Amino acid sequence: MLGMLKEVALASYLAAASTFLLFGLFLFARNGGQLRRLALGVACCINAGWAILLVVQLFLPARWPVLVAVFESLRNASWDVFLLLLIGVFGKDRRTTIFNANRWVLAVAVFYAVMLACTLSVSWQNGYPVLAGDFIAVTVLRTGAAILGLFLVEQLYRNTLEVQRWGIKFACIGMGVMFAYDFYMYSDALLFRHFNPDAWVARGFINALAVPLIAISTLRNPRWSLGITVSRHVLFHSAALFGAAGYLLAMALAGYYLRIFGGTWGSVIQLAFLCGAVALLLGILFSGVFRSRLRVFISKHFYSYNYDYREVWLSFTRSLSSKGPDLETRVVEALAKLVESPGGAVFMVRDDGSFDTAARWNCAAGAQADPANAGLIRFLEEKQWVIDLTQHKINPGHYGHVAIPAWLSDYPRAWLVVPMEVHGRLLGIVMLAQPRSPVKLNWEVTDLLKLAGRQAGSYLAQQQFATELMVARQFESFNRMSTFVVHDLKNLVSQLSLLMANAERHKDNPEFQRDMIDTVDFSVQKMRLLLHKLSRKDSAETSQPIDLDALLERAIRGKSAAEPKPVLTIEAGGMQVQADWERLERVLGHIVQNAIEAVSPKNGRVEVRLARDGAEALVEIGDNGHGMSEEFIRRRLFKPFETTKSAGMGIGVFESREYVQALGGTLHVESVEAVGTRFFIRLPLLAPVKAATTQLQEETSESK
């Protein structure tokens, strides 16, 4: 019997030594220079040394009762010091608690000094005090040490704030169990005047069981812990794995008994039962309700907060920012996952105060939204609360008796209304359906939903702004095209107006009549071409080789009715450029028209010269008009909608320079006030070989 008890004692104290030693070494490895972590590691190592010393004495004939007693005292003292350090950190009144803790440190030091003195003064034999008085004194002191430890554990828990008790309660339970068991063992020894061998043997197991409880507090990461946590994702899968393993073991055991007691049908019943058990397990593991309940259970019982905010926010942002046009649906899905909701819908606020259903996710269609929503919109903009529709039905006064529209409250399984507010304006709301598992709607959940609603609202607002910007750009493009069309029409109207002004005076002049007919014909052709471009869906410009001689002659012929009549001088002919005929003619014609309008009809002079400058064609347009200042040329001439004309639009010169630069050329202006202005347009020439090749290709295509 004694041999078996010795083996049990060996296993008991080896378990205590190994668990405390491993935990203590781990604490030292991840110490981080913090006093409380160091104190916990020291206490664990002393506890491990005490257990190892007891294991060694089981196999050696020699006894070291004084050394064992010293380690016993050090073990209790180390836990007391650690508890006092925690009391100084977690106390409600820090200043008072720390002061009292320092006083307690002194009292504990005095108590253990007396205990050590008593231990060294008594006589020991075979590990026990020789005299009855010595036995009682030592046992009373050790009982007092257990009571002191229990008192400190109670003080720690009672003086800790409620929100922080969650992080230390398992450590208090573990240390409390050790001290309570010591109190039981020593008080029993005082009562019967000897130690109970069974109680002494089981003491190692009791101490070993305290380590996991203390480790849970380090897992929950209070301020004295290692600063490490196990993620909810890992814990979720671990719990599911261990649960499945336990379930399979139970089913295997049940199948075993079915086979034994099933008679001739035992094997068949066992196989059918195991297949059914596996099918049931797969159904449970793939059940959304089961996963939801497991997540809620883990968050409620293993963590102080319901959410791992880093993972939640990364997942939420990833859902909103992923590719795809259905942002509204992704908003509902992302918000629903925060509270284990299986579906919902998003409603956007219109300008008239009505709601429009933007998207639904796993949600049946409800009643049509009505426009009577002013009270709800005003309440959500002012309070920015998450409304629990179930609570609102029971106690509407909690929400200021705000009226919930019937189309919203009667929605199938409607549960929460989450506002999406941007810059103080309600952009829309998200209705979430009842969750798969019961979720307590506390401050943490509502704050997360409000913050997530604002984030989702910002994404939806950004999408709205992007859409509005795209529409605005389309209108801007249309308005810009209309501006250029109006500008061309204005030039044609100016030409016809000038023609009509001179018609009465030169109506008998045959040359003027011919010029008038040519000008009218030119204007009609231009307007037809303009209408043709406006009516075509693909009005893209066609780039082709252009003879500058012919283009300039046509442009000047269109201004022949003007006074003064522009004069064209061609110094180098046969030059070709690659451009759109109509666009380049409009550019040159506009600059010539500006020169005509800038001079006096009587003594004015407009000259157009075509020359060659290396690999470029040079078109020079000059006049002796009023000219322009250097500042006007630098700051205003080439800016759109900047003009000095009373009826001008200020886009002609801007368009001219843009197109010349698009062709690879340059447009330069020289002007002196009251002297005149000269425009220099340089265009890259087509190479002769390239021009000949282009001409040959055109002739070949025509012959075909």
Provide the residue range defining the domain that includes 628: 544-684
Does residue 599 or residue 99 have the better pLDDT?
599
Residue in the block written with tokens 């447009």: 667
In this structure, what token pair is assigned to residue 40? Answer: 């916990």
State the pLDDT confidence band at 618, using cuts at 50, 70 and 90.
very high
**Domain contains 134:** yes
> Quick check: 672 and 632 in contact, CB under 8 A?
no
Say if residue 213's pLDDT is above 70: yes
CATH number, residue 394: 3.30.450.40
For the segment 4-42, what is each residue's pLDDT rounded down to a tens digit? 677 788 888 888 899 999 888 888 777 655 677 788 888
State the pLDDT confidence band at 103, using cuts at 50, 70 and 90.
low
How many domains does the chain divide into? Answer: 5
266-280, 330-344, 620-634, 641-655: range with lowest mean pLDDT:
641-655
**In the predicted model, what is the mean pLDDT of the chain?**
77
> Quick check: 584 and 610 in contact, CB under 8 A?
no
Q: Give the phi and the psi of residue 649 in degrees, each rounded to 5.
A: -115, -15
131-135, 195-199, 583-587: range with lowest mean pLDDT:
131-135
Residues 14 and 153 in one domain: yes
Distance of alpha carbon 584 from alpha carbon 549, whole angstroms: 13
61-65, 74-78, 395-399, 632-636: range with lowest mean pLDDT:
61-65
**Domain contains 698:** no
Distance of alpha carbon 285 from alpha carbon 294, whole angstroms: 10
State the pLDDT confidence band at 304, using cuts at 50, 70 and 90.
low
For the segment 320-369, what is each residue's pLDDT rounded down to a tens digit? 888 766 888 889 989 988 888 888 998 888 777 778 788 888 887 766 66
**Domain contains 664:** yes
Residues 571 and 508 in one domain: no
**CA 590 to chain centroid:** 54
The residues facing 414 across adjacent strands are 433
Does residue 272 or residue 21 have the better pLDDT?
21
**Farthest-apart Cα atoms in the chain, separation:** 155
Residues 434 and 558 in one domain: no
Query: Strand, coil or helix: what is 591?
Result: helix
Distance of alpha carbon 423 from alpha carbon 644, whole angstroms: 43
**Domain contains 700:** no
Of 245, 253, 251, which is closest to residue 275 (Cα–Cα)?
251
Look at phi and psi of residue 210 and say left if phi exceeds 0, alpha if psi is from -120 to 50, else beta.
Answer: alpha
Work out the end-to-end distance of the chain between its first and last CA atoms, rounded to an integer number of angstroms. Answer: 119
In this structure, what token pair is assigned to residue 298? Answer: 């883990």
Does residue 361 or residue 271 have the better pLDDT?
361
pTM given for the model = 0.39
173-177, 360-364, 622-626: range with lowest mean pLDDT:
360-364
**Domain contains 406:** yes
Residues 615 and 574 in one domain: yes
For the segment 526-579, what is each residue's pLDDT rounded down to a tens digit? 776 666 655 544 445 678 999 999 999 988 887 877 788 899 999 988 899 999
- Looking at residue 240, what is its pLDDT? 67
**Domain contains 151:** yes
Average pLDDT over residues 401-425: 85
Residues 361 and 281 in one domain: no
In this structure, what token pair is assigned to residue 486? Answer: 């109006």
Residues 635 and 505 in one domain: no
Q: Give the per-residue SS3 of 605-659.
A: CEEEEEEEECCEEEEEEEECCCCCCHHHHHHCCCCCCCCCCCCCCCCHHHHHHHH
- Looking at residue 417, what is its pLDDT? 92
**Domain contains 463:** yes
Residues 198 and 322 in one domain: no
**Domain contains 146:** yes
